[in-house]
Amino acid sequence: MSSCNNSIPQPVVFVLAGIPGLESYHHWFSLPFFLVFIIAVIGNITIIFIIHVEKSLHEPMFLLLAMLSTVDLSLVSATVPRMLGIFWLDAKEISIKGCLTQMFFIPSFYVMESGILLAMAFDRFVAICNPLRYTTILANNTLVKMGMAVIARTMAVLIPAPILAKTLTSFRTNIIPYSYCAYMAMVQIACGDVSNHIVYGLMVIVTSIGVDLFFISLSYGMILRAVFQIPSWEARHKALSTCGSHLCVIVLFYSPVVFSVLAQTFGYQMPSHIQIIVDNLYFLVPPMINPLIYGARTKQIRERILQLLHYHPK
């Protein structure tokens, strides 16, 4: 890293390095990234389409799933094409305005997805712990309010990011060692006192991912307590099976974040290219896997997909 003795003013154009140290392998990375993008787009469009046309799926759980698929589709559309441009065309330059735009929208979709997963945990909690009032508690107007709350929380948490980044006036270099414009990546190459920016970055994680993960854990703690009070083993299994897909998605979504936080907490310094690959997993793997999980584990969606493929099981 270059010294601040040779600092430069805020550049008009930044350079995205992709995956530093592995530039010669960019064309190989592009293949799985492209495959992930295609699977994610087809899978999430299919989920949205099926829920839209199938009136029997206009229930809270499936409407929340449609919201999740919409956010997943937006997330991969905001990240992967730019990454492929770097890997295939060496299109590494990005304007300051484009950088600030990425800095807001990419984490926004991620935080929205976390909020929707929390709403889905609440949906499962009500379905298992208060089934008789399920449709009353989770009426359409409640779902709209939950969606608006997710958007409002996202805006409140992430609007400061591009505003604060714009206040960074001097930099060691104009090369951002990432495949997209991340707030903390820009802070790392900035000169001067960046302590306030670091505190803000931590606050974003705590007030979004941290809070959501806490309440999801609390919801499933109460769900397990309620389930194990059911005397019938068959009824217990049926209740838990309704949560299976959501639990798989939660583990998949939060695992990279928890891994990174634990690694930093215990002082393990990952090589920069490994850290960047893990960070990319935040945005790539869940949008691809989520529709596969729900398509495979949800009977109504699975049957509708088979009908679309003109396959009629006996």
Cβ neighbours of residue 47 closer than 8 Å, sequence gap 6 or more: 65, 66, 69, 291, 294, 295, 301
Q: What predicted TM-score, i.e. pTM, was given to this entire model?
A: 0.90
100: nearest Cα among 185, 41, 43:
185
Cβ neighbours of residue 44 closer than 8 Å, sequence gap 6 or more: 69, 70, 72, 73, 287, 290, 291
* Residue 132 to residue 136: CA distance in whole angstroms: 8
**What pLDDT score does 308 carry?**
74
Q: Specify the fold of 9-311.
A: Rhopdopsin 7-helix transmembrane proteins (1.20.1070)
Tokens at 88, concatenated: 């295939």
Burial track 117-136 (b if 16+ CB lie within 10 A, e otherwise): bbbbbbbbbbbbbeeeebee
Contact between 13 and 93 (Cβ < 8 Å): yes
Averages of pLDDT over runs of 10 residues in the chain (314 residues) are 72 89 84 92 93 88 93 93 90 92 93 94 91 89 94 96 92 89 90 90 90 94 86 77 83 81 63 78 86 82 78 50
**What pLDDT score does 4 carry?**
74
**What pLDDT score does 1 carry?**
46
**What pLDDT score does 309 carry?**
74
Tokens at 208, concatenated: 């979004």
**What pLDDT score does 3 carry?**
60
**What pLDDT score does 118 carry?**
95
